Structure 1
Amino acid sequence: MPPMQPLPQPATLPFSGHLQRWSGDPIALLHEGAEKSQKTGKVFALKLGLPAVVGFSPEWNKRLLTDLGTFRSAGSFSAVVPYLAGGVILTDAGHGERRGAVNPPFGKRSMESLRGRIRAALRQEKPAGTFDALAWADRAVLRMLNAAYFSSDLDAGLLHAFLAPLRSAFPVPAIPRPLLFVRMNRTLDTLARKRLTGGGDDLLFHLARWPGGVREARISLAAGHDTTTHTLAWAVWHLAEHPEWFRADGLKAVIRETLRLYPPGWMGSRRLSRPLDWQGQTVPKGALVLYSPYLSARDPDLWDAPGVFRPERWDASPPAWAYLPFGGGERLCLGLHLANLMLEEALTYLLEVASELQALHGDPAPRPGVTLGPAGPLVVRAG
């Protein structure tokens, strides 16, 4: 097998390659790699203990997200996080069949049936006066998820404890927590049995009716919390800094622009099941291949002033395969419609309880973890 030909790469450190930089400041590492590869195919190499290649062009994104036979989920970064291991997220064989079974409860029509319950839960977290948008978003999303999945029947303390490790930097989310998982699984099994015997209309009721559905509920719950929390916090911060967009007809554009600047899934990964020939380069079987919604959404070749918050850019359609906050292809995020529903409801609620928002102080810089989140806090005043 021919070896992988040299690709541009960021500066390495002795002995550790890129591992130390990846664990310390991966965003800076990505920006450096993107700059070095901007004119050579927008693909660069990383030394992460095994051959690794990062691409961020639309062509790369489309190939990686649609060629499921070559780009496999098993063995990717997500597999090292117990919260995400297993279930439809990492399934390769039979993915389409399993996804088809899980999709209906998360569709637009099903989401509309949950809107009233989500709205009522949200109103238990009224922001007033001066508040940290990040802390408020965390509480609000926990309440909305509890309402959508479990009709607010899940113990709030358990839900908070279960999801809390995902908010920390690596390696915290990858540390096994068998006792916590046993407690959570037993509680979900109990709630699922009640749904199967007594009926219901929440997400757990629909998922519990097929094999593996309760596990899918747990995994999708974990995948949906921080992603929505961080997007909501950033959206509130930007609305406080750009009051001209704090209006009902501006919220959808604000959400889309926030997701462009700060896609929660800032980096996606796959493993190659066979050698890949790409633009004259050969990437060996087993290599780690990555795509970056963060880099694609900030590519100056595709976006005007990509680092600037401009919701008005959404008057036009985005470049194809360059806007991927929820992934793409057959592996489009299962919780896409639920996330948008919660974000729209939360920002609409702010419009109801506040005539204006003012940004006071905070640190909105992106901090990568399992998801991309603001360093925080993000302190705003509701007037």
Structure 2
Amino acid sequence: MPESQTPVAVPLARKPLGMLKSLAAARNNVLSIIPYIATQQPVVSGTTGVRWHMLMDPDAIRRVLLEELENYPKSDVTKNLLRPAIGESLFIAEGAHWRWQRRAAAPVFSHRNVSALAPVMSAAAETSLARIEAADKRASDIYAEMVRATFDITASVTLSGSALFSSDEVHRAIDAYIAAAGKLSLFDILGLPMWVPRPSRVMAGASLKQMKTIADDAVNSRRSAGAGDVPDLLDLLLEGEDPETGRSMSTAELRDNLLTFIVAGHETTALTLAWAFYLCAFDQGVQDKARAEAQSALQGRTATAADLPNLPYCRMIIDEALRLYPPAALVSRTAQAPDTLAGREVKKGDTVMIPIYALHRNALLWDDPDAFRPERFAEKPQRYAYLPFGDGPRICIGASFALQEAVIILATLLAKRRFSPVQGKTPDPVMILTLRPEGGVWLTSEAV
């Protein structure tokens, strides 16, 4: 690979955009509104309908995500996009309502429980490998394959054995909702209240109703039937309670958190894996090194949770994919009181953004930031400079689950197949709700 060659990246804005141009750009790719100077500076501020500040300074980010958490709740734009689908679940809730849900759900994602779910991940990796082997040397969309594999895992570990649950129906409903409701509205940028209808989200109503009906039926069915021999995530949530108050989740709260885990649990990991395979095909030297590690550790087997300590380089590839293409590539908060961040005055009501995509490519924090170098993760990165799962009290509760799943699948497939790019089929990184490879990740593979 030539030293000057770097993987695909989002073309960031080189000059200021007005409100209408920002809206048009954001509806096509949210990341295109990030100014290029955000990859060169610790903070960038401006006004587009409302005052905003983009933070790339780790100390300022620490203040927002940890030290002054209550002063920086999720922005109204974020809540307006997601609340119709996942209600006041862990991802949306604030304050005391968030805290008790987090306490109740935390044991669900303990190391013991996550490790116990690894056989489902290994089985899905085997099934995915069989599909890829069946395609032989024909080009296939590895992104679509990873969506299928991770959704199978999520469906199995969240709702195993539910007679009323159809994974295909839920998957179609989720995709339809995101397609119709996920795009930013001019009303969001202007800060109009939620009771003013957003046309695209009105059109998403049927998909939304279907998603919630399926999840409600699954929760009620499990309450009646009881847990299986190996508890899945729904069983664990049903058993969960706040250790401080003894409060447990209502059917509506269970439904909203279940939908959060289903939506977030499969797509973000599928995206991470799709970008990881793209990067391995982009740099065959990295792929060869990872394959040698996987073959040595697995000895022809499918990867399991017990193999993870022997797959450090595969984990570095996942970390580097999350750096270059973070699924949640931009998060925003709304300041509740005046403050100072990175030397910049913040007023009450200002939007404070953490453009994780720009943070992960900031030249002040990373050496050769646009290059694909998994070895950089041989050492732990600076705190609050690397945020694939957020940080602070609201760090993603399923991070360990996602990382275990990603390494198991990556190692299993690389040990048996060599992946190569398809000429003229380079993916385009586009963010609507998540950073997706538009056009898919088209690769060929052959047995090794």
Distance 1:54 1:199, change over 3 A: same
1:184 partnered with 2:211 = yes
Aligned to 1:286: 349
1:142 partnered with 2:151 = yes
Q: Percent identity?
A: 26
Q: Following superposition of structure 1 onto structure 2, how do residues 1-383 of structure 1 map, counting pairs within 5 Å? A: 11-13=15-17, 16=20, 18-34=22-38, 38=41, 42-66=42-66, 67-73=68-74, 75-81=76-82, 82-94=84-96, 95-125=98-128, 126-128=131-133, 129=136, 130=138, 131-151=140-160, 153=162, 154-165=165-176, 168=179, 170-171=183-184, 175-176=201-202, 177-196=204-223, 197-200=225-228, 201-209=231-239, 210-211=248-249, 212-241=253-282, 242=284, 243-247=287-291, 248=294, 249=311, 250-352=313-415, 354-361=416-423, 362-383=425-446
Normalised TM-score (structure 2): 0.76
Q: Deviations over 1:70-100 (max 9, x none)?
A: 1012524243233344211122121222211
Q: Tell me which amino acid in the other structure corresponds to 2:217.
A: T
> Is this contact kept in 2: 1:133–1:379, CA < 8 A?
yes
Moved more, 139-148 or 120-129: 120-129
Aligned to 2:6: none
Distance 1:48 1:77, change over 3 A: farther
- How many angstroms apart in 2 are the aligned matches of 1:371 and 1:60? 24
DSSP-derived class of the 2:69 partner: coil
**Cα drift, residue 191 of structure 1:** 2.2
- How many angstroms apart in 2 are the aligned matches of 1:171 and 1:69? 25
- How many angstroms apart in 1 are the aligned matches of 2:365 and 2:18? 35
> Is this contact kept in 2: 1:260–1:297, CA < 8 A?
yes
Structure scoring higher RCO (CA < 8 A, sep ≥ 6) equals 2
- How many angstroms apart in 2 are the aligned matches of 1:346 and 1:313? 22
Distance 1:68 1:112, change over 3 A: same
Q: Tell me which amino acid in the other structure corresponds to 1:138.
A: V
> Is this contact kept in 1: 2:75–2:332, CA < 8 A?
no
Q: Tell me which amino acid in the other structure corresponds to 1:341.
A: Q
Q: Deviations over 1:209-267 (max 9, x none)?
A: 43122321112221223211111111111222332233223211110010011111100
Q: Deviations over 1:272-328 (max 9, x none)?
A: 111122344322211111112211111112111111111111111111210100000
- How many angstroms apart in 1 are the aligned matches of 2:38 and 2:75? 26
DSSP-derived class of the 2:95 partner: coil
Q: Tell me which amino acid in the other structure corresponds to 1:202.
A: D
DSSP-derived class of the 1:302 partner: coil
> Is this contact kept in 1: 2:337–2:347, CA < 8 A?
yes
**Cα drift, residue 345 of structure 1:** 2.1
Moved more, 148-157 or 268-277: 148-157
- How many angstroms apart in 2 are the aligned matches of 1:202 and 1:288? 38
**Cα drift, residue 152 of structure 1:** 6.1
Distance 1:190 1:227, change over 3 A: same
Q: Tell me which amino acid in the other structure corresponds to 2:384.
A: W
Distance 1:15 1:55, change over 3 A: closer
- How many angstroms apart in 1 are the aligned matches of 2:78 and 2:71? 17
> Is this contact kept in 2: 1:133–1:233, CA < 8 A?
yes
> Is this contact kept in 2: 1:167–1:226, CA < 8 A?
no
Distance 1:286 1:345, change over 3 A: same
DSSP-derived class of the 2:436 partner: strand
Distance 1:181 1:167, change over 3 A: closer
- What RMSD in Å do the two structures reach over aligned CA positions? 2.5
Distance 1:218 1:382, change over 3 A: same
Moved more, 64-73 or 119-128: 119-128
**Cα drift, residue 369 of structure 1:** 1.2
DSSP-derived class of the 1:251 partner: helix
- How many angstroms apart in 1 are the aligned matches of 2:238 and 2:276? 33
Aligned to 1:3: none
Q: How many equivalent residue pairs? A: 370
DSSP-derived class of the 1:367 partner: strand
> Is this contact kept in 1: 2:58–2:383, CA < 8 A?
yes
Unmatched 5+ stretches in structure 2:
1-12, 186-197, 240-247, 295-310
Q: Tell me which amino acid in the other structure corresponds to 2:107.
A: P
DSSP-derived class of the 1:370 partner: coil
Q: Deviations over 1:91-120 (max 9, x none)?
A: 212122221111111222111111112322
> Is this contact kept in 2: 1:298–1:307, CA < 8 A?
yes
Normalised TM-score (structure 1): 0.88
- How many angstroms apart in 2 are the aligned matches of 1:106 and 1:206? 9
- How many angstroms apart in 2 are the aligned matches of 1:311 and 1:13? 34
Distance 1:107 1:236, change over 3 A: same
